[in-house]
Structure 1
């Protein structure tokens, strides 16, 4: 739905206009209807959709937990807290990024705001998208371990047999690291 509306804004003659202040052809702030529709499409619709979907996920987790025994309750509680933390992170990033644009659009209808403030509020959406992508990357445990290993100039080895056990071995790359680790040689089983 939002894709159809966004494409219609691209072909609309009143959506993108040349702004004298910035010397850029961008979503106009002079046409309130177009600016407000853009704020709804870019910010409110995804925010509400994500909140509803995550609410459904949390509801299903609670329903699933009521069915099972209490023996694994601590593990499930830890998993639920991790899911809730991720939901909170993603919705907060989206909310912090989109709120300035929505407010600047509404305030601009009442009192004209300076172009730099409007431009910064428009860029906050792009910045929040980038920060959201980075947050998704770092909330994934396996991706976080790979990135941390790369920053420490180590090679990450994940054996296929231990993939399900969530164990990861990190070896130092000899070309990047000058330290020599002592290795204990175990006796062979005969």
Structure 2
């Protein structure tokens, strides 16, 4: 597994090198993937942004489907063992939990989609339009990714009740 990890870490950045996908940006003094070469730009959009976002959407969908099925199994098991009809008091907490999970997944997926949307727009702008994109668009696109990663970390912190209570408890002990 470690060997596969090392091989992938070596091969993934090689593709833009083959397609002349890196350029030296004078303003930032960095070699970055260019959006002017379409195969390289498409690769940079797909590998770090589209594939992880789609993978997370599929994983979240599988988790949600599993939760819904387990909720139905529990409700049917309670109905069979108690020989009574299942009331709304038994099913309501499950639906509330499912709605809460859906809200969290929806928020996280929207943060991911917004994080890369400016970069996708600037990339397609450079490919479609004969004139280059405005100079402020590319730095904003890169900064938006960084900002939305920070927003995602704060959002995950705010969504986790256990983590919040542990940190509040730790803070109250020291101050």
Aligned counterparts, 1:1-190, within 5 A? 6-9=12-15, 12=18, 14-20=20-26, 22-69=28-75, 70=86, 72-111=90-129, 112-149=132-169, 154-155=172-173, 176=175
Alignment deviations for residues 121-172 of structure 1 (CA, whole Å, 9 cap, x no partner):
122222222221222222111111233456xx512xxxxxxxxxxxxxxxxx
Select the structure of larger CA radius of gyration: 1
Alignment deviations for residues 11-31 of structure 1 (CA, whole Å, 9 cap, x no partner):
547222112455432111221
Alignment deviations for residues 62-117 of structure 1 (CA, whole Å, 9 cap, x no partner):
21222222453122112112211110111010001011111110111122102321
**Which blocks of at least 5 consecutive residues in structure 1 are unaligned?**
156-172, 177-190
Contact 2:21/2:34 (<8 A) preserved: yes
Residue 114 of structure 2: SS of its match in structure 1?
A: helix
Residue 154 of structure 1: SS of its match in structure 2?
A: helix
More helix by share: 2
The equivalent residue for 2:79 is none
TM (norm. structure 2) is: 0.75
Contact 1:17/1:28 (<8 A) preserved: yes
Residue 46 of structure 1: SS of its match in structure 2?
A: helix
TM (norm. structure 1) is: 0.70
Per-residue deviation, 1:51: 0.8
Per-residue deviation, 1:60: 1.3
Contact 1:104/1:121 (<8 A) preserved: yes
Q: Give distance in 2, aligned partners of 1:25 and 1:140.
A: 38
RCO greater where, 1 or 2, for CA within 8 Å and sep 6 or more? 2
